[in-house]
Structure 1
Amino acid sequence: MTYDGTKLTGSKASWSTSKSSVATVSTSGKVKAKAKGKATITAKYKGEEVEIKVTVK
């Protein structure tokens, strides 16, 4: 995992998807498209949260 340009070794973010029928995300953060639509991928780490909006065409 890289945060603010710094590689964080041994760290683990918690990943989730808002719509698993559109896109899934692995425990390592790899996103896989499943079907057309929109989803939000969320990563949580040490009280911080980042949301990434994805569109599958």
Structure 2
Amino acid sequence: MHSSRIPILETYRPGPTSSENLMLRKRLFFDLKARYNYTLFKPRQNRSLTAR
């Protein structure tokens, strides 16, 4: 249990590696958000266009 937890703490330790991790996480989050918004709003836009 203890030996498996140590590497996780190492990755979250403040430093250049953690900042890179944060950037990757942010990029991934925004990519997912963009995809979600695209799938969410595409049918609405199509509906509004057909309604007009």
Q: TM-score, structure 1 length as denominator?
A: 0.18
Structure holding more helix per residue: 2
Structure holding more strand per residue: 1
Bigger radius of gyration among the two: 2
Q: TM-score, structure 2 length as denominator?
A: 0.18
- Return the structure number with greater relative CO, CA threshold 8 A, min gap 6: 1
